A and B are shown apart, each in its own frame.
Chain A
């Protein structure tokens, strides 16, 4: 590409995609480079997905400031992206008189209408399954739950729809001076841009060091989770927080946008990019969850996973221009609440670039995204209508989450579309239900290969070498239709 961009964004996580989406409102040539084969492949794919309310902001920090700034974007984002955050509300549970003070702080910090401190009995009326050892609980009506995948991907799709270029599977390895602009070096070449934004998540400090900037390396702090079967829906209705001890919000129990229950995360130091789960970690998560809900049905666990918080020693966000490349902006340490703060971060980044000279001329032709129908949520009349339009709506590929061939094809053919099995999973929830791909694992790789015109053996789970199928068998295959 010899083209010169106005802005190159490095990283297709929720932050990179929010910046792309925000800047797409202006008349700019934008390119997003992502090293993985899909957007939403880093920190943004493995977190709790909570849109923390005003009560949970951290004063005197940049992350606190951007958190608050982001909250005023919620409604516009929901409209423009055609997504909906689940306004569950939250209960923060205190187990001793000493914790009461913390509840008071939350209440004062939030100044949220309808927020209140509840006596145990009132808390039990809201959430009958919570521990009867509680001393009091803070009720906050403003907490929301997002599907982190849906948000990240909707931002990417909206950005694409409005002209942002995406190049996936392209790792940035360094920067080069090019007169007054920056050359962004990747494995396969060089891209030129007036402005560059490094929001490479866990690699952001490494890239900042590559550009000659002095920033400590990120310390990944891992959090592990249990996902419970949708059968447990109704067990909790609000996000349940403990009163935190130490560095994080603690182990939560939270409903998800899709009716599962999420338990976690714990906090433990981890090696670089080590997103494995451990026996001890999962045990700790289980115990943490049971402290809030003693009868937590952990036997209904359908999956476990872990995510890495990209943290700096002061646990704040660091957003700064490179000392060597004046138009290269680094975003380092975007840990929790980075998802919540993503809109605020995007606007802030826009402001910083603008102050240094980036012209922001608002476009009049910005297109609103409309999300593709989700079969599982449609009324029967609508199902019948869609099947008459396209019989792929009548073919269920994933029986746990009731996903149809029509939805899978759309996810494969949309932009930026799924090119991996995990990418499909994050878009349409195949392989994510209680059988974890036992059923749709028979169909998806073949449907995917056919739709994308790929060889079946090239189908990967997520990374370039994560091949799903082995060699062909000796016998000629049966010729049965495969999905």
Chain B
């Protein structure tokens, strides 16, 4: 029979979100906290992110991914949190039972509260349906990052990167420093997906061409990639005929987006938001299913680990408090808004609201609507899809009556990089 254990809090996923949540649950008084991580090590994506750029927001200092993770690992070691690495959670029930395996055996863990922090996975070639052959040499950027930074191998020599997301930009620099030739970065939209600072430091400084409004329309080469065909696209992203050209390369890296990893959430029947791809959550990162919390990239893709840490700490505390359900405001993404998180407001007294705009804009106004009325506005000089706007919930004068609230962003659109 599988081994049965019980815990106050079980955290699934030992990345920055899971580590911060487990720590804060412990600090808030949980007697038994289990942190399940399927890798052999804690830290999630961080150990492979050897570039600096982590921690500026909360510690005012730029750390590398491994350094950032190390702080949490050390803190965890000083607590009674039971970190189970090499442990994959495979099943989750609405009754808060997690089934997992590791080399010691099969486990059944019953918890009072469950914190989901499974992170996300990368979008693949199959999802984009890029036609052509299926040779070796096509990698998602995060996989390539692992191969280079942890396994010690280049993915190839001549590289084309599809997508201007941060992982792609960072890999462009990393691969160049390692002696590979990054021939170009191709972006289907007419603006940058990643952070401007990554563009400047990783692309511009290395003279790597970045083509906007272009995409890869074919992969050539039977055994290993030999070339890709790139093509200009119209505003809807459809390739324009006649605009194709072949670019010789042996590797295609895809940096085309992340998908919150919610297979387990679906099994437990936790309601998911079609916008974020993760569970609906309130400012405590409590989901719509009692006793379940979700924080970090599993709830919504966060670009900054600092924000992940902030929200995970709230989830960790709330999982111990286990407040009873109550009526909440429901936030909807209106014009100009890609996603808002949290999408539920319980009290709005403390915590944060993260808003991801749809487009790069300047002279920006963020408006909050209750029915036909704006009850709060905030002006911001510039916004970009790659950076979430972070607001303090306490600043916002939430209406007395609980109901639906629409969030809207307006401004003047900017194209390209600026």
Contacts and interface: CB of A to CB of B under 8 A. Distances in A.
Contact of B223 (A393, A466, A469): A466
Contacts of B90: 396, 402
Interface string B239-252: 10000000000110
B105 interface: yes
Given A395-B103, A463-B223, A470-B153, A436 B135 contact: no
B101 A387 contact: yes
B126 A436 contact: yes
A276 B219 CA distance: 9
Interface in B64-123: 86, 88, 90, 99, 101-106, 108, 121-122
Interface of A: 226-227, 231, 273, 275-279, 281-282, 301-305, 380-381, 383-384, 387-388, 391-396, 399, 402, 421, 434-439, 441-442, 446, 456-457, 460-478, 480-482
Interface stretch (B139-147, B288-296, B337-345): B139-147
Given A276-B218, A387-B103, A466-B224, 9 more contacts: A277-B131, A282-B131, A302-B126, A303-B126, A462-B223, A466-B136, A469-B153, A471-B154, A477-B151
B152 A435 contact: no
A380 B90 CA distance: 11
A438 B105 contact: no
Contacts of B142: 438
Contact of A304 (B86, B126, B266): B126
B143 A442 contact: yes
B150 A478 contact: yes
Contact of A473 (B88, B134, B140, B154): B154
Contact of A470 (B124, B131, B140, B251): B251
A481 B86 CA distance: 12
B152 A477 contact: yes
Nearest to B140: A438
B189 interface: no
B102 A394 contact: yes
B interface bracket (residues with beta carbon within 8 Å of A): 35 or more
Interface string B320-344: 0000000000000000000000000
A478 B251 contact: no
Nearest to A465: B223
Contact of B99 (A380, A434, A470): A380
A437 B154 CA distance: 17
Contacts of A387: 101, 103-106
B39 to A, nearest CB: 9
A278 B218 CA distance: 8
Contacts, number: 163
Interface string B19-56: 00000000000000000001011000001000000000
A-B residue pairs, 10 tightest by C-beta: A477-B152, A470-B154, A391-B103, A461-B136, A466-B223, A303-B126, A384-B106, A463-B223, A394-B103, A466-B136
Contacts of A273: 222
Contact of A395 (B86, B154, B223, B239): B86
Nearest to B156: A470
Interface string B142-167: 11001111111111110000000000
A394 B2 CA distance: 12
B196 interface: no
5 contacts: A276-B133, A380-B108, A384-B105, A456-B153, A482-B150
B48 to A, nearest CB: 9
A396 B121 contact: no
B133 to A, nearest CB: 5
A302 B136 contact: no
B178 interface: yes
B257 to A, nearest CB: 12
A441 B143 contact: yes
Contacts of B152: 472-473, 475-478
A227 B218 CA distance: 19
A277 B132 CA distance: 5
B379 to A, nearest CB: 37
Contacts of A481: 40
Contacts of A466: 135-136, 223-224
Contact of A383 (B40, B101, B104, B121): B101
A468 B224 CA distance: 8
A288 to B, nearest CB: 15
A379 to B, nearest CB: 10
B129 A396 contact: no
Interface string B244-266: 00000011000000000000001
Contact of B135 (A380, A442, A461): A461
